[in-house]
Amino acid sequence: MKQLLFFLLFIFCAKGFAQVNPNDTIRVENYPKDSVSTVTPKSEVAVLSDINTANAPAVEMKFNPTKAGLYSAVLPGLGQYYNKKYWKIPIVWGGIGTGIGITLWNQKQYNRYRDAFIAELNGQPHEFSDIPGITADALGRTQDRAKRQRDYAIAVTALVYVLNIVDAVVDAHLYEGRKDPDLALQPAIIYDELAQQNAKTGLKLSYRF
């Protein structure tokens, strides 16, 4: 009888320890291994087409440097418009316009002091006669200064005009080779000369000198 009770107690204890606590379990997901990827690899023809497209010469608009320089000579800023450098047009017009304005203002001042200088030499009244200390020498120096400033303004305006032509010519000339570097690294197809292996994709280094 004692052995039977002991045996039942042993079974009961073993059953109690064998209970699984849901909080202590680890759930393992079993994902299917026979799934098909939705990403389709490119075929050799598609890869070859992409490489040929990358190596194809880019279709660019080319500008004639002679035309650009001629346009800027006829009308400052027109060469920049031809080269599609629209942001340079206000700079050209501003520089030349400012130079012309300063030139005209100094020319007006020169005429004023020149007339007063001649009138002072002839003993005639002029617009500066009422100012004490005005002499022929003072008027002569003032007219010379106005003339010198006028000449400087003319020289600067002419320089801006020439730079406007040079900029248009250089910009049109450089545009042709802007996307044609001497050193280039491009994708290419590597062929086996012995025809023992299939063609492979790779990189091509081009250097021109």
Q: Is the pLDDT of residue 186 over 80?
A: no
> Cβ–Cβ contacts within 10 Å for residue 189, how many?
15
Count CA atoms within 13 Å of residue 148 on its CB side: 6
To the nearest whole number, what is the mean pLDDT of the chain?
75
Torsion of CA 73, 75, 76, 78, to 10 degrees: -100
Q: pTM value?
A: 0.55
Beta bridge partners of 183: 207
Q: Could you tell me which residues are beta bridge partners of residue 207?
A: 183
How many angstroms separate the first and last alpha carbons of the chain? 108
Of 126-135, 137-146, 164-173, the poorest mean pLDDT is in: 126-135
Does pLDDT of 20 surpass 50? no
Q: With pLDDT > 70 as the criterion, what percentage of the chain qualifies?
A: 56
* Among 139, 148, 165, CA closest to 103: 148
Model confidence pLDDT, tens digit, residues 63-110: 888 898 999 999 999 999 999 888 999 999 999 999 999 999 999 999
Mean pLDDT of 179-204: 59
